[in-house]
Each structure stands twice: as structure tokens, then as C-alpha cells.
């Protein structure tokens, strides 16, 4: 149908051209023919827009699906309708003008340029609509889709620019690309950040290194918070104080990056904190201490088993128990570690399927560090901090019950107490 319409208009232009040329000079005949082509192209463009926006558009809005409405909102139909006029002009100009004429070359080139320009915006609208559709889906919501969209848009613009320039100068795109190769070093220098961001954006997307919503830490850039946006040139991180840090994408690939995604997806959040015990408060347990420790519910079985084991060993080896250093004896620090181990195992906030232990670190000038290493089943930050604080509130409160002292440097109150002596 379209071919028949264009063929009929071809015949009309030729008849009009012959008629006008017989009554006036050739120049005005060509001008009138060109004007008729433009009027015809304009009328066809209006007709296509009317059909698209009065029939196709209404049909799209009446459907139950949402994706076609997004394409409509992204003006894909507008860019599609804009292709009609330049295509008609490009096709019909040879019927009015001779090849090689200045006006012929000018109109043909500008028509072709406008076709490429409209196709670029049509594809761009299609990409934007596709991005919106997939970004609303739960499966792709945390993917760096915006960076991929910008990457595709940059490639599209570069290709379109090369094609438009080659049409304008009348050379093949390959010739233009060859000429651009000579200035590639200068372009790489000028657009270094954009090129590095482009490559890094592809790496981030391909390797699934970061996602929107990930908690990342980059001390060099002062970033410690959640990623809120990943684009071609920047990665936005909202710190926990609500400040926003922008980090270049290539920094996430080349610099040290701590991503807490593994912790968030695991069964627990690690607690690794120590309490320092004054070394001068460590001693062997006498019978009175053993009796007191045995009254603690979490230690009753441990004390009974250990005391039976040590008594049997000492009797079997005829150990002189009057000297504390002889044989096997419990220490208040060892009993304290056993209590902490049982305390953590009895705590519901601890994930018992992950590593859980109490260990003694190397002594130093600040005492003997007793480290609690476990994973909190509660990972939400405020609640996690509350769990951690509750555990160590309890630990610090029970230290004196084991005849131990927490080490701390002398304070003003200590010196004031010395004056009273």
C-alpha cells in the first residue's frame, strides 16, 4: 500500500514538474516540486501521528499489561512517527531534482542525518523504557542497571555521531574511524575518567561486585554506608550519618573495598571483643572458691567433672596437695573462661551453628586479654550493638565474682585515694 502511494506521488510530481516547466523556467519548477514533496511528507507525518496516538495509543492504554504503557510514556511512538517525513523526502527528492545538484545533495544528506538522529532517539527511548521495566522487578532491583543503561547510551551516541559526521562530509564511516584513530591518545587523555568508568561499570555489572543497597566501606574515600546509585561515572554511597559520598567506579575495582554483603546474607554478624584481666589477680582455686563456683548453674557440671578428674589424677599420682603448685588444680581464670563459654552457648541471640569460642590472647602491658568470639544471630545494626553491649555488661559485672580484676590505667580517682592513705 505504501509503495503504491509513493509510486502514485512519483507520477504526480513528474506530471506537475512537466506542467510547471512548460509554463515557467526550470528553476521554479524544481522549487515547486520540492515544496510539494515537503507538504506531502508533512501530511504523511501528521497522518501517522494521528493513527499512532488515536488508535495505537488508546489500544496500549486499554491493555492490562504495564510494560507497553512504559514504552508509550518514554515517547517511543513520537520518535517512531518522526521517521516518516525524512524517509519520504529522502525517497522522493530524486523525482524533483537531478543527482549532483547542490540542493539535491543538501536535502538528501539532511534527510539521512535526520533519519539517523530520529533512530538514535527511538533506540534511546527503547533502552530507557527497558531499564524502567527491569528496575521495577524484584529480581533486578539491586542490579547496577543504570550503569548498563548509560553504557549502552554512550555506545549508541558514539555510533550515531560517527554515522552523522560521515554523512555530512560524504565519507565512509570507516574512513572517519581511521582518522579518529590518530587522535585516540588525545581523546583517552581528555576522557580518561569516563573511559575508566565505562570499563569499570562493565566489570562491576559482569562480576556482580556491588549492588544498590550493599553496605560498603572505603576508608580512603570516607565511604561507610549503603550504595544508593551506580552510574557510569559515579557510585553514590550514603553514609550512616546521612552524608553522601561519590566514588568513581574504577575505584571500586582497583582500590581496597570492603563489602558487607556476605555478612548480611550469612547467618550472623561477628562479635570479636576482649576484656583485659589484671594478671596479679590470677590464682589457684582453693576449696572455698570451688564450693562457691559450684553453686553457679552454668558451672555446676563443669566444676564437678573437672574436680573429679583432678582429684583422681592427684590421688593416683600421690600428689602432695598441701603445696598448691603440685598436681592439677583449677585457676579462677580458667573457671572464668569456662563460665563465659557456657554463657555464650546458653545465649539465644548467638548463632550456635557458627564459630563460638572464648580464647586467651597473649599477655601484654595491659593484662591478659580474654576474647569473646561469636556471631550474633541478630544483624540489624542497633539490635546487634544492643546484644554486644548486653554481653559485655554481664562479663564486666561478673569478673569480681571470680576474684579477678579488670585491668585499666590509673585515673584521677585512683590518685585521690592514694592521698588518703
Taking only the tens place, the pLDDT of each residue in 152-178 is: 777 888 888 888 888 777 777 676 666
Q: Is residue 256 domain-shared with residue 330, that is, in the same domain?
A: no
Q: Are residues 82 and 130 in the same domain?
A: yes
The arithmetic mean of pLDDT across residues 283-305, rounded, is: 90
Q: Look up residue 105 and give its three cell numbers.
A: 545533495
Cα 189 from chain centroid (whole Å): 27
CA-CA-CA-CA torsion sign (301, 307, 313, 315): negative
pLDDT band for position 272 (cuts 50, 70, 90): very high
Residue 117 lies in a domain: yes
* pLDDT value for 23: 46
Domain annotation covers residue 103: yes
- CB-count exposure of residue 62 (10 Å: 0-12, 13-18, 19+): exposed
Decide if pLDDT at 410 tops 80.
Answer: no
**Residue 298's CB: how many other CB atoms inside 10 A?**
14
- pLDDT score, position 2: 46
Q: Domain holding 239: CATH number?
A: 2.30.30.60
pLDDT tens track for 98-157? 676 777 777 778 888 888 888 888 888 888 877 777 777 766 665 666 667 777 777 888
DSSP labels, 208-264: T---TT-EEEEGGGTEEEEEEEE-SS-EEEEETTS-EEEE-HHHHHHS--EETHHHH
Out of 113, 141, 169, pick the residue that ends a domain: 141
What DSSP string runs through 307-345? HHHHHHHHHHTT--TTSTTSS---BHHHHHHHHHHHHHH
The mean pLDDT of the chain is 78
Kindly indicate the confidence band of residue 390, based on its pLDDT and cuts at 50, 70 and 90.
very high
Return the higher-pLDDT residue of 219 and 180.
219
Quick check: 236 pLDDT over 60? Answer: yes
pLDDT value for 277: 94
Shared domain for 212 and 277, answered yes or no, is no
pLDDT in the model for residue 38: 77
Same domain, 134 and 8: yes
Secondary element (H or E) of residue 191: none
- The C-alpha cell that represents 295 in the structure block: 553453686
Q: What is the mean pLDDT of residues 358-365?
A: 92
At residue 385, the pLDDT reads 92
Of 265, 284, 313, the last residue of a domain is 265
Residues 333-350 pLDDT 10s: 999 999 999 999 999 999
Last residue of a domain, one of 141, 168, 198: 141
Residue with more model confidence, 203 or 382: 382
Q: Exposed, middle or buried, 369 (CB in 10 Å: 0-12/13-18/19+)?
A: middle
* 88 lies in some domain: yes
Average pLDDT (301-307) is 89
Q: What is the pLDDT of residue 11?
A: 55
Would residue 149 count as lying in a domain?
no
Structural domain containing residue 113 = 2-141
120 and 218 part of one domain:
no
Query: Is residue 356 in a domain?
Result: yes
Claim to verify: residue 279 and residue 259 sit in the same structural domain: no
pLDDT bin (cut points 50, 70, 90) of residue 402 is: very high
221 vs 8: which has the higher pLDDT: 221
Query: Comparing C-alpha atoms, which of 161, 195, 196, 193 is closest to residue 180?
Result: 161
Q: How far is CA 71 from the centre of its chain?
A: 26
Q: Is pLDDT above 70 for 293?
A: yes
pLDDT over 70, % of the chain: 73
Q: What pLDDT is recorded for position 202?
A: 66
Least-confidence region, from 17-21, 308-312, 349-353, 384-388: 17-21
> How many separate domains does the chain show?
3
8 and 63 in a single domain? The answer is yes
Answer yes or no: do 134 and 96 share one domain: yes
Query: Looking at the domain assignment, is residue 211 inside a domain?
Result: yes
Please tell me the predicted confidence (pLDDT) of residue 32. 74
Amino acid at each position: 500500500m505504501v509503495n503504491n502511494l509513493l509510486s502514485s506521488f512519483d507520477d504526480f510530481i513528474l506530471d506537475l514538474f512537466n506542467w510547471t516547466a512548460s509554463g515557467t523556467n526550470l528553476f521554479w519548477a524544481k522549487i515547486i516540486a520540492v515544496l510539494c514533496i515537503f507538504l506531502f511528507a508533512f501530511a504523511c507525518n501528521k497522518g501517522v501521528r494521528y493513527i499512532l496516538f488515536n488508535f495505537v495509543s488508546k489500544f496500549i492504554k486499554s491493555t492490562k499489561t504495564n510494560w507497553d504503557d512504559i514504552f508509550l510514556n518514554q515517547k517511543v511512538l513520537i520518535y517512531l512517527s518522526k521517521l516518516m517525513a525524512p524517509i519520504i523526502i529522502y525517497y522522493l527528492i530524486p523525482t524533483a531534482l537531478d543527482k549532483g545538484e547542490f540542493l539535491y545533495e543538501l536535502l538528501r544528506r539532511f534527510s539521512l542525518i535526520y533519519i539517523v538522529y530520529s533512530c538514535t532517539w527511538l533506540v534511546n527511548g527503547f533502552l530507557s523504557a527497558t531499564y524502567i521495566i527491569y528496575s521495577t522487578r524484584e529480581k533486578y532491583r539491586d542490579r547496577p542497571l543504570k550503569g548498563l543503561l548509560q553504557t549502552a547510551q554512550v555506545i549508541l551516541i558514539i555510533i550515531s555521531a560517527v554515522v552523522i559526521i560521515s554523512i555530512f562530509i560524504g565519507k565512509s564511516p570507516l574512513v572517519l574511524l581511521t582518522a579518529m584513530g590518530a587522535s585516540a591518545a588525545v581523546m583517552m587523555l581528555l576522557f580518561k575518567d569516563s573511559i575508566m568508568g565505562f570499563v569499570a561499570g562493565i566489570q562491576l555489572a559482569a562480576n556482580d561486585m556491588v549492588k544498590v543497597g550493599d553496605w560498603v566501606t572505603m576508608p580512603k574515600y570516607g565511604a561507610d554506608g549503603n550504595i544508593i546509585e551506580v552510574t557510569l561515572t559515579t557510585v553514590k554511597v550514603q553514609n550512616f550519618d546521612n552524608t553522601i559520598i561519590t566514588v568513581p567506579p574504577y575505584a571500586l575495582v582497583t582500590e581496597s573495598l570492603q563489602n558487607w554483603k556476605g555478612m548480611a546474607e550469612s547467618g550472623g554478624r561477628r562479635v570479636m571483643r576482649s576484656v583485659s584481666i589484671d594478671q596479679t589477680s590470677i590464682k589457684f582455686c582453693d576449696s572455698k572458691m570451688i564450693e562457691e563456683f559450684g553453686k553457679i548453674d552454668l558451672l555446676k557440671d563443669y566444676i564437678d567433672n573437672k574436680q573429679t578428674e583432678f582429684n583422681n589424677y592427684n590421688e593416683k599420682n600421690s600428689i602432695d596437695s598441701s603445696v598448691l603448685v603440685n598436681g592439677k588444680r583449677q585457676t579462677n581464670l580458667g573457671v572464668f573462661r569456662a563460665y563465659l563459654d557456657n554463657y555464650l552457648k546458653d545465649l539465644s541471640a548467638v548463632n550456635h551453628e557458627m564459630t563460638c569460642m572464648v580464647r586467651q590472647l597473649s599477655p601484654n602491658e595491659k593484662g591478659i586479654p580474654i576474647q569473646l568470639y561469636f556471631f550474633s544471630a541478630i544483624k540489624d545494626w542497633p539490635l546487634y550493638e544492643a546484644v554486644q553491649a548486653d554481653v559485655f555488661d554481664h562479663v564486666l559485672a561478673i569478673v569480681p565474682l571470680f576474684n579477678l580484676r579488670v585491668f585499666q590505667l590509673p585515673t584521677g580517682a585512683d590518685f585521690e585515694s592514694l592521698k588518703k592513705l
